[in-house]
């Protein structure tokens, strides 16, 4: 029986489940590697687990396929619980689907209804994973799309900058922004408490991307100005 199982080819449904397990590991790769980086301990461990999940795809005999699916699946499942606080729970669906693939590869008659249980579990977990991933991506995209766009630049002006001369007032510091152009509408120079230098804030409206970039370059080129960054009116300027 052992020899016949070793020579038995991997059932098509079991191989499909193994492919679905790899598909379910994609969110874990996106989260672990992009968040921590492949060189980080967590990111590297996630990457190793995903590579292990893909190993059964290269096997042809059902016995070895089933053994590796169950071994790797339960191993990754345990690691996903152990590292849940670090976000490794994203590997849980892939581990469960791989275990289901191992269960589907066990010997038995095709008419055996109990063999349908692993297939049903694997498909349901895959569908749930894809739906949750899609919902997360749409929600993240919606948050980014609805976030207010920068409408100002802020920068630090050194104390020895010629811009701080009050007589005559430098054209770049005209309140209405006419000295800068490129869509600038308001120029404010504040003196922050507890920090050296001044804070220059330039608001702009109805500026094209090219004008915005030109305005940023113009501000950065002003004498004594450094650390130019975009900001939002009344939020973080």
H helices, E strands: number in the chain: 8, 4
Give Cβ neighbours of residue 87 (< 8 Å, ≥ 6 apart): 31, 32, 35, 42
- Domains of the chain from N-terminus onward: 2-145 (no CATH), 152-231 (3.30.70)
Q: Residue 231's beta-bridge partner residues?
A: 152
Number of Cβ within a 10 Å radius of residue 1: 6
pLDDT at 74: 95
Show pLDDT as tens, one digit a residue, over the chain (237 residues).
444 555 678 888 899 999 999 999 988 888 776 666 655 677 788 889 999 999 999 988 888 999 999 999 999 999 999 988 877 888 999 999 999 999 888 876 655 667 788 888 999 999 999 999 888 888 767 655 555 566 788 888 887 777 777 666 677 777 777 778 877 888 887 776 555 567 888 878 767 788 888 888 888 888 888 888 888 766 666
pLDDT of residue 84: 84
The structure tokens listed for 98 are 């791989």
Q: What is the pLDDT of residue 47?
A: 87
């Amino acid at each position: 029986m052992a020899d016949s199982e070793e020579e038995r080819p991997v059932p098509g449904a079991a191989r499909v489940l193994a492919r679905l397990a790899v598909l379910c590991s994609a969110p874990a790769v996106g989260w672990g590697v992009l968040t921590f980086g492949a060189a980080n301990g967590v990111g590297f461990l996630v990457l190793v687990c995903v590579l292990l999940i893909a190993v059964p795809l290269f096997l042809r005999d059902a016995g070895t396929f089933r053994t590796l699916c169950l071994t790797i699946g339960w191993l990754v499942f345990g690691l996903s619980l152990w590292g849940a606080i670090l976000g490794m729970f994203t590997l849980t669906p892939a581990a469960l689907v791989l275990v289901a693939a191992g269960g589907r590869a066990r010997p038995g008659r095709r008419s055996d209804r109990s063999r349908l249980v692993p297939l049903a579990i694997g498909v349901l977990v895959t569908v749930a994973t894809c739906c949750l991933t899609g919902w997360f991506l749409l929600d993240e995209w919606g948050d980014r799309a609805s976030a207010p766009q920068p409408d100002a630049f802020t920068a630090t002006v050194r104390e020895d900058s010629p811009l701080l001369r009050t007589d005559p007032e430098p054209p770049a510091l005209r309140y209405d922004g006419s000295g800068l152009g490129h869509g600038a509408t308001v120029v404010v120079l504040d003196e922050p408490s507890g920090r050296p230098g001044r804070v220059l804030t330039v608001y702009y409206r109805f500026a094209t991307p090219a004008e915005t970039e030109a305005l940023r370059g113009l501000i950065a080129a002003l004498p004594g100005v450094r650390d130019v960054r975009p900001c939002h009116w009344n939020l973080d300027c």
